Amino acid sequence: MRILTVTLFVLLGHAAIAQKAEKEFLKTLNTFCGQSFAGKAIFPEEEKNPFKGQALKITFATCTSKEVRIPFQVGEDKSRTWDVG
């Protein structure tokens, strides 16, 4: 019984630390809300890479304390969105 209690205590401690880290991470991402960033793929350079020669753009579009949505555009393809939270 004592081992179970100690194990539970350790697991709850790790969960609390992870939860705090997640909140801090989202808080940091929220500082970019409304901003866009452009870039280009430099690796890998294989012919079959769908990013090769395409403009890359992310926009921090929707930001809350629980979620950040970041559309990721590759050339004219706007089908990707990163959902962090």
Residue 53 is predicted with a pLDDT of: 85
Please give the structure tokens belonging to residue 20: 């705090």
Please give the structure tokens belonging to residue 73: 């555009």
pLDDT per residue as tens digits for the range 33-64: 999 999 988 877 677 888 888 899 999 999 99
DSSP state of 61: -
Dist. CA 21–CA 27, nearest whole Å: 10
pLDDT category at 81 given cuts 50, 70, 90 is: very high
pTM exceeds cut of 0.75: no
- Quick check: helix, strand or coil at residue 43? coil
Instruction: Give all strands (DSSP E) within 1-85, no chain letters.
Output: 36-40, 55-59, 62-63, 68-74, 77-84
Dist. CA 83–CA 85, nearest whole Å: 7
